[in-house]
Amino acid sequence: MKGSTVLLDKQTVKGFTFNNRYVCAPFDISKATDDGLITEELLSIYKSRRGSSLIVVEQAAISPAGQYREKLIFVDRNECIEGLSRLAAVIHDNNQVAVLQINHAGSAADASITKMEAVAPSAVIHPVFGRAMPKAMTKDEIHKLREDFAEAALRTKKAGFDGVEIHNCHGFLLSQFLSPITNLRTDEYGGNLENRCRLLMEIATAVRAAIGDEQLLLVRLGLDDLLPGGLTLEEGCFVAEKLEMVGIDILDISTGLVPPLNLPGPAMLRNMLRIVKGHVNIPVIGAGELWDIKIAADMVEKREVDFIAIARPIMDKPDFVEDLLDKIKKAQQ
Ligand SMILES: Cc1cc2nc3c(=O)[nH]c(=O)nc-3n(C[C@H](O)[C@H](O)[C@H](O)COP(=O)(O)O)c2cc1C
């Protein structure tokens, strides 16, 4: 495991110190109250996830219509701030950077829970989730969505988080806007790629204005839909470049309409990460079965990625990353 010490390297982003190259990836565990408030159980789970330099807390719904499944965290109203501030404090107590992922599920929302008609860029049944036919959003609804993201981000800041991550992957609403499969609009939010990514750029800009320059702004970008006729890797790289231009701080990379979980690992997104890394100058986080220290270290060493995000092993073993760090430190002695 010689050479793996690169994973212990600190990095500073905007004055925030990242103690190593590991990130606890966002994964929703449905442990909030029915109306999306933070529970003691959630606090104790996050408290046990020690080791990584950054925790990106699982997707929090920015509005009731955007709820993907039951007992998700909500950040849609000021009542949520108190519980979220306890969550941020738990993460800071472990000397980790705290970021909250904010999301609207669009046509992947579960209408049996939301009791609302799902919304989407266009009336297209979700090609992966296959839920009910959604309603195409009006321009007013699109503008309101922009405000909802900005207000959710401001609440996150008020709760004491170090930043927010805009969820734009895994088939949720913003990835539905990027994809030519789910976005059939003929106005300025649909059609060519410039138009399909307009909403994401507007939201990133509105969120930045809401949280100010000192907070971290991350986007988890689905770089490739992995479906014929969907967003291509080349298009994803164009969007990544634009995100850097509008001033995001860190690019977190995953897949678009199709979540990465069924792809054969390990390191199933490695090629994608290496390619996008060549397109941007901001730090890049990558995930996708990067559980092997050697592979992770090789990727960081070769500058294919800056941070290694881990999800599934942490579900069963919350101190998984701490163990990896111990192994690396021992090998170093
Ligand atoms: C149960 C579960 C829930 C997830 N929820 C989210 C989520 O809320 N937001 C997100 O961006 N990714 C989510 N993911 C994807 C993970 O962040 C990660 O990208 C994926 O699991 C690949 O990393 P891994 O191979 O280390 O598990 C979820 C994954 C799982 C298994």
- pLDDT-based confidence at 103, cuts 50/70/90? very high
Ligand 1 site, residue 267, Cβ cutoff 6 A: no
- Residue 3 pLDDT > 90, yes or no? no
Ligand 1 site, residue 310, Cβ cutoff 6 A: yes
The pair of three-digit structure tokens given for residue 228, joined into one six-digit string? 């014929």
Ligand 1 site, residue 58, Cβ cutoff 6 A: yes
Ligand 1 site, residue 31, Cβ cutoff 6 A: no
Question: Considering only CA atoms, which residue is closest to atom 18 of ligand 1?
Answer: 311
- Residue 2 pLDDT > 90, yes or no? no
What pTM value is reported for the model? Answer: 0.98
Instruction: Please tell me the distance from the alpha carbon of residue 288 to that of residue 277, in angstroms, as a whole number.
Output: 16
- Domains present along the chain, CATH in parentheses: 4-332 (3.20.20.70)
Cβ atoms of 272 and 239 closer than 8 Å:
no
Separation of 139 CA from ligand 1 center, angstroms?
A: 31
pLDDT at 262: 83
Ligand 1 site, residue 218, Cβ cutoff 6 A: no
Separation of 311 CA from ligand 1 center, angstroms?
A: 6
Cβ atoms of 231 and 186 closer than 8 Å:
no
Ligand 1 site, residue 230, Cβ cutoff 6 A: no
Mean pLDDT value across residues 115-119: 96
- pLDDT tens, 264-290? 999 999 999 999 999 999 999 999 999
Burial of 66 (C-beta count, 10 Å sphere; 0-12/13-18/19+): buried
- Residue 251 pLDDT > 80, yes or no? yes
Separation of 50 CA from ligand 1 center, angstroms?
A: 18
Ligand 1 site, residue 286, Cβ cutoff 6 A: no
pLDDT at 1: 59
- pLDDT tens, 39-71? 999 999 999 999 999 999 999 999 999 999 999
CA angle 242, 248, 252 (to 5 degrees): 90
Coil, strand, or helix at residue 55? Answer: strand
pLDDT at 333: 79
Instruction: Please tell me the distance from the alpha carbon of residue 81 to that of residue 83, in angstroms, as a whole number.
Output: 6
Cβ atoms of 77 and 37 closer than 8 Å:
no
How far is C-alpha 121 from the chain's CA centre?
20
Separation of 136 CA from ligand 1 center, angstroms?
A: 27
Separation of 186 CA from ligand 1 center, angstroms?
A: 32
Separation of 138 CA from ligand 1 center, angstroms?
A: 30
